[in-house]
Amino acid sequence: MTRKSLHHQIQTVNQRLTLRQEKFHRTSEQSITALQKMHPYLLIGTGLVAGAVASTMGWYKVYTAATVGPRFYSFLISRLMGMKND
């Protein structure tokens, strides 16, 4: 590889990294804003319930339920809306 091609490759990787960092920064700011809008007791209560469920079921099952749950919920809602329109 020539020096020029290496330089171009480094610049490309640097641009991708910069975009990822900007996206991460925006997501972090949005998360902080959302958490600040939540009522503190709701936040504490949710954490307590999540901790109790995790200690009862185990981390792996909680993780699986948390990843599958939203997809299953959207599937159910789309099916129910489809039935409602028939």
pLDDT single digits (tens) 2-25: 999 999 999 999 999 999 999 999
User: Alpha-carbon dihedral of residues 69, 55, 45, 62, nearest 10 degrees?
Assistant: -10
Question: pLDDT tens digits for 14-66?
Answer: 999 999 999 999 999 998 898 888 888 888 888 888 888 878 777 777 777 77
Domain boundaries, the chain: 1-37, 40-86
**Spatial distance between the Cα atoms of 16 and 7, rounded to a whole number of angstroms:** 14
Q: Are 43 and 35 in contact (CB under 8 A)?
A: yes
pTM as predicted? 0.49
- What residue type is 80 in one-letter code? L
Both tokens assigned to 14: 């640097």
